[in-house]
Structures are given as C-alpha cells and as structure tokens.
Structure 1
Amino acid sequence: MESPCHVHVSQVAFGDTDCSGWIHFPKIFRHVEEAEHAYLQQQEIVIIDRELGGWPRVHVSCDYKRPLRFADTIEVQLGIERIGAASVHWLFEVLKDGEICAFGKMTTVRVDHQGKPLVIDDETREKLGSEGLPQLGHSERAS
C-alpha cells in the first residue's frame, strides 16, 4: 500500500490458528479490526458508546495469498478508499516480512445508539483525514 493512514504490528496468536497451525481465515479480520480501532483511538474518534452509537461493519472481503502461522509477526496497513455520507470504505493489507499475505476491503457505517445511520460530521471527517485520501487499489496485487 503506497500511502496507508495507519500501520499496526501484531502477532498471530495460538488461538488464531487451526489444527494445521495456519491462521484460520476469519481471524485475519480480528487483526484488521485491531488496526482500525487503534487508528480511530489515535484520531480520538469514539469507536462505540451506548449513548452515541458506533461503527458496525456492513461489508468485508478478503483475498488470501500466503499462509500465516502461529507467532508470525504481521503488519496491517489501513487506507481509506472513500468516505460516504455515513460510511467509511477501508482498504487493508496484511504483510509478513514485507510480502502481502492477505488484502481486502471493509465498509463501516456510523450509526446512532439505535443502529440508524448518522451523517459523518465535518470534525470526524477531518480526523479521518478526508483531505488527500490515498488513491489505493489492489488490482495489480491480485495475481
């Protein structure tokens, strides 16, 4: 990823793996979520609050290129593809030793405490870095 908005280093836990010793496919999303939450906290954006609502995922997709194993140190790179009225369209790459192991997209929606979409305010847009969003894409990496 040329211009990630956040880079998060993590390690594959034993509980992330299946009996083969490789990371079980949905566990990638746990690492991506950790990266997303770290970025939002760094930007002082509330992740979830019973009174204010939160940012549930409404879409996720992932392509897997290389297996990850227990105790591998990984780097999750996050980028924002675009910000809609109430949504953030994220891109992510998961790397080990500089090589892409998985990449994908995730869409989150800003909702109120009842789960109804809320327009993302200007202050939050600014914190998310809506100016100069990176032009990211994975078509060249899919092979």
Structure 2
Amino acid sequence: MTRLTEHSMEIRVRYSETDAMAFLHHATFFVYFEMGRTELFRAAGGSYRRMEERGLFFVVTHIECDYKTPGRYDDLLTLTTRISRMSFAKLEHTYEVTRQGTLVAKGKSVLACLDRKGEVQRLSEELLYETPSAEGDA
C-alpha cells in the first residue's frame, strides 16, 4: 500500500466537452474531478472495483468548482487531485486544473463511504488499500 495523497494527470479537452463557443463546458470539470479521484485511488493501490464488490461505495455529498479562466477545445490541461482530509467515514479532495501553469479552475468535494443499504461505513487504510487478489484487477 502506498500512502499517496496527491496525483496529477494530463487531460486533452475533446470537442464533445465544449459548448457552442468552443469553451470547456462547466459540467465537464466534475467529470474531470471524478477521473482525478479514481486515478489517485488507483495510484495509491486502491480499487473502486474491489470496494464495490465488497458492497462499499463512495457517494458525493458535496462538490464545488470555482472557474478562473476558460478552457478551450484541444487545450492540454493538468489536473492535480489531493486528499485534503480523511475522517471516520468521509474523504475530502481538492482539485486544481491548470493550463501551462495558469489556473483554469479549482474545486473540492466530500465523499461518504456507504454500504448497499445506504448506511455509513468506517474508512480504514486496510479497507481502501487491501492487497490485490491473485486474479488481478482491471
């Protein structure tokens, strides 16, 4: 298990993610944030697939985005995702989207861990970063 709390990735803005003015659509940032959370979790040795197979789910309870300057079609953006806080049953993340060092947007989210019944579950490193199965993970 890796105690990783930050991950960066590059994202190329696709045409389908833009509006009629070729600006990156505001709702797309939330998709990017999810990509960042998933890749941070994966890079740290976690697996959403394994969590869900165990009947545990991360549910977004709060999310926000502060837009600074427009992203445009074909921009190469860097998304940096950080775990800013981990508590009993919540993970808090912050996000920065930049283009060549210029801040495009920043955001934050709060996720709760629930079981299939919708009941809050305790987070632990063992739960989040268990050893992969012998069959491997996709």
1:88-107 equivalent positions in 2, closer than 5 A? 88-107=91-110
Cα deviations by residue, 1:21-64 (Å, 9 ceiling, x for unpaired): 00110101111111111111122323252542211211001110
Structure holding more strand per residue: 2
Whichever residue aligns with residue 12 of structure 2, its letter is Q
User: Contact 1:111–1:117 at 8 Å: present in 2 too?
Assistant: yes
User: Which consecutive unaligned segments of at least 5 residues does structure 2 have?
Assistant: 130-138
Q: Which residue of 2 aligns with 1:80?
A: 83
CA distance in 2 between partners of 1:56 and 1:120 (Å): 13
> Relative to structure 2, which stretch is displaced further, 50-59 or 13-22?
50-59
Superposition pairs for residues 19-34 of structure 1, below 5 Å? 19-34=20-35
Query: What TM-score, normalized by structure 1, do the two folds share?
Result: 0.79
Matching of residue 113 in structure 1 with residue 116 in structure 2: yes
The one-letter code sitting in structure 1 at the alignment partner of 2:112 is V
Q: TM-score, normalised by structure 2?
A: 0.81
Superposed CA deviations along residues 53-77 of structure 1, whole A, max 9, x for unmatched, are 2112110011101000111111111
* Distance in 2, Cα, partners of 1:57 & 1:19: 29
Alignment equivalent of 2:62, drawn from 54, 59, 62: 59
Closer/same/farther in 2, CA of residues 76 and 22 from structure 1, 3 Å limit = same
- Counterpart of 1:7 in structure 2 is 8
Moved over 4 A (4+): none
User: What CA distance in whole angstroms lies between the structure 1 residues aligned with 2:66 and 2:30?
Assistant: 12
- The question of whether the paired residues in 2 share the 8 Å contact of 1:53 and 1:114 is answered with no
